[in-house]
């Protein structure tokens, strides 16, 4: 009976997670584990849920128990490694993948495990280690499509363009391969062709990747439309009185030393975040989802579906708001696995832009760093970047929705800029890459931080940490200007949306 009940609880937990009811997922899986304490699958699922909610100590405790149940079983070490990878614990993931291979290097999971390990090495810029592992995978299974893809990616990073192109074209054209692999191969091919200045071919490859993804994006598109509906509602109804009310101090509030770095994705936030994170008096939260998961969604769930966001915020009791702020801080510290202390917290997340007024409500003391970049380069960069399908990335499957989302995001900032009495600063990506030191000094002065020479060597610091942004390769290099005015290479392809972007081109001073 316990086994059947535990299975039923696990099924309900999976549905709760799918509906973003993560706290319910954890309680349901905890009860399932109580009924079947030695079930590795339940323990792994609970560890994954706890880890993704930033309860790292609990997640690691559960994963240790899984390994105790089967300390010499290669498949268990691999499963534990996959959970560690999922919850952003790359060092533990690598150790468990390697242990899995040590225990048994001759199973059906050997090549997939080698490739999992190679992906982690490549992400951590350990390219020699990645090449060695992929070479072994190809020796075992020369035609393995994932191994071929990994080799092509390493060839591209190593400058072996002809070899990479040959592999990528073959993978993208093979109809029997999974659509995800073919789409990734097409994206990689597009990047490679762009590097070789074969721009029309690059655009065709990127378009092919998107055609493969569109049929699988229905739910992401639906969620995105709901987000944009809420955004439009906020922008249309918010006025100065909201910001005046939010700025009135609550005598019982803890005042946090906090700033946000946001904009439309691909506007230069990752570069500036890495620069600032090199400062010893600042700690950066790199695209965490703490605000949305621990403040925004829990508060809105307390209201009837369809309640306008501003109406909901106006009816949140001060004590609930204070608790939400404290939870945000605590959960962010859990991700860092250390106290923030007297350092400044920088919450870098382009996803916050469309909900920026609500963020201002939660943290009126928050300083705002707003990245500006030529809108045409922003759209092109989003179109070219391979990212998992999410509500936001679903906008980049075609140029029209990409331009619409850009309009929503930057229209939100212009409205906030007009209304807020809080502190904010804009900086242009093009200016930062042209004169990093001057703009780093300007931003640090705005944040109230002293000058630190290490910020100019941000790429050294970035090589030693996990960068969650898709641009993790770029920020391990010194500043470069090859992405400035890149859109001109694709001007004829961008022509259908240039009129939509024109108001922002003018607003941000890119008419020339």
pLDDT per position as a tens digit, 270-311: 999 999 999 999 999 988 889 998 899 899 989 998 899 999
Note the pLDDT tens digit of each residue in 329-347: 998 998 888 899 999 999 9
Local confidence band at 353 (pLDDT 50, 70, 90 cut-offs)? very high
Does residue 274 lie in a domain region? yes
Q: Which pLDDT score is estimated for 394?
A: 97
Is the pLDDT at 475 greater than 70? The verdict is no
φ, ψ at 392 (rounded to 5°): -70, -50
Note the pLDDT tens digit of each residue in 155-185: 999 999 999 999 999 999 999 999 999 999 9
Note the pLDDT tens digit of each residue in 17-44: 777 777 788 988 999 999 999 999 999 9
Is the pLDDT at 207 greater than 60? The verdict is yes
Is the pLDDT at 466 greater than 90? The verdict is no
The pTM of this model reads 0.88
268: left (phi over 0), alpha (psi -120 to 50) or beta: left
Does residue 129 lie in a domain region? no
Local confidence band at 1 (pLDDT 50, 70, 90 cut-offs)? low
Is the pLDDT at 55 greater than 90? The verdict is no
Which residues constitute the domain of residue 281?
218-507
Does residue 228 lie in a domain region? yes
Does residue 14 lie in a domain region? no
Q: The CATH number of the domain where 372 resides is what? A: 3.40.50.300
Is the pLDDT at 477 greater than 80? The verdict is no
Local confidence band at 465 (pLDDT 50, 70, 90 cut-offs)? low
- Indicate the pairing of strand 367-372 with strand 282-286: unpaired
> Of the candidates 299, 319, 317, which has an alpha carbon nearest to the alpha carbon of residue 252?
319
Local confidence band at 512 (pLDDT 50, 70, 90 cut-offs)? low
Domains in the chain, number = 1
Does residue 53 lie in a domain region? no
The runs of H, that is alpha helices, within 159-217 are 161-173, 179-195, 199-213
The runs of H, that is alpha helices, within 292-351 are 297-301, 309-314, 318-336
Residues 6+ apart with CB under 8 A from 9: 28, 29, 31, 32, 35
Q: Among 276-280, 312-316, 366-370, 478-482, whose mean pLDDT is lowest?
A: 478-482
Could you tell me if 361 and 289 are in contact, meaning their C-beta atoms sit under 8 angstroms apart? no
Cα separation, 53 vs 480, in Å, equals 36
Does residue 410 lie in a domain region? yes
Which tokens hold the place of 321? 């708001």
Does residue 112 lie in a domain region? no
Higher pLDDT, residue 286 or 368: 368
State percent of the chain over pLDDT 90: 78
Local confidence band at 457 (pLDDT 50, 70, 90 cut-offs)? confident
Does residue 121 lie in a domain region? no
Is the pLDDT at 211 greater than 90? The verdict is yes
């Amino acid at each position: 009976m316990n086994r059947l009940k535990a299975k039923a609880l696990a099924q309900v937990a999976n549905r709760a997670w799918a509906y973003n009811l993560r706290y319910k997922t954890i309680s349901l899986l905890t009860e399932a584990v109580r009924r079947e304490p030695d079930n590795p699958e339940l323990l792994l699922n609970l560890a994954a849920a706890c880890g993704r909610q930033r309860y790292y100590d609990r997640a690691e405790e559960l994963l240790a128990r899984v390994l105790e149940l089967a300390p010499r079983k290669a498949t268990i070490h691999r499963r534990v490694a996959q959970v560690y990878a999922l919850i952003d614990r790359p060092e533990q993931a690598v150790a468990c993948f390697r242990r899995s291979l040590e225990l048994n290097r001759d199973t059906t999971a050997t090549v997939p495990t080698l490739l999992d390990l190679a992906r982690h090495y490549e992400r951590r810029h350990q390219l020699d280690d990645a090449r060695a592992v992929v070479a072994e995978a190809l020796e075992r299974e020369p035609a393995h499509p994932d191994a071929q893809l990994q080799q092509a990616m390493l060839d591209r990073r190593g400058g072996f363009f002809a070899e990479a192109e040959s592999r990528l074209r073959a993978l993208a054209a093979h109809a029997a391969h999974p659509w995800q692999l073919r789409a990734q191969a097409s994206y990689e091919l597009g990047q490679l062709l762009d590097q070789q200045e074969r721009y029309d071919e690059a655009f065709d490859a990127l378009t092919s990747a998107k055609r493969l993804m569109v049929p699988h994006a229905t739910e992401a598109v639906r969620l995105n439309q709901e987000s944009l509906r809420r955004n439009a509602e906020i922008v249309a109804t918010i006025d100065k009185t909201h910001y005046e009310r939010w700025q009135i101090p609550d005598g019982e509030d803890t005042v946090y030393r906090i700033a946000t770095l946001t904009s439309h994705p691909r506007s230069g936030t990752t570069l500036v975040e890495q620069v600032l994170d090199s400062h010893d008096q600042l700690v950066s939260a790199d695209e965490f989802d703490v605000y949305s998961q621990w403040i925004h969604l829990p508060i809105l769930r307390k209201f009837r579906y369809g309640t306008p966001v501003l109406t909901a915020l106006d009816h949140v009791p001060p004590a609930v708001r204070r608790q939400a702020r404290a939870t945000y801080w605590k959960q962010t510290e859990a991700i860092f696995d250390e106290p923030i202390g007297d350092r400044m917290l920088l919450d870098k997340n382009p996803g916050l832009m469309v909900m920026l007024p609500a963020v201002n409500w939660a943290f009126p003391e928050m300083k705002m760093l707003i990245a500006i970049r030529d809108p045409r380069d922003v759209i092109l960069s989003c179109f070219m970047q391979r990212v998992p399908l999410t509500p936001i990335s679903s906008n980049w499957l075609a140029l029209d929705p990409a331009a619409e989302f850009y309009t929503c995001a930057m229209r939100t900032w212009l409205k906030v800029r007009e209304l807020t009495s809080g502190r904010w600063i804009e900086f242009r990506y093009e200016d930062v890459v042209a004169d990093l030191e001057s703009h780093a000094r300007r931003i640090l002065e705005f944040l109230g931080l002293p000058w630190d020479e290490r910020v100019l060597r941000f790429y050294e610091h970035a090589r030693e940490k996990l960068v969650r942004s898709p641009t993790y390769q770029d920020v391990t290099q010194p500043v470069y200007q090859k992405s400035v005015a890149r859109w001109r290479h694709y001007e004829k392809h961008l022509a259908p949306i240039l009129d939509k972007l024109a108001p922002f081109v003018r607003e941000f001073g890119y008419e020339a």
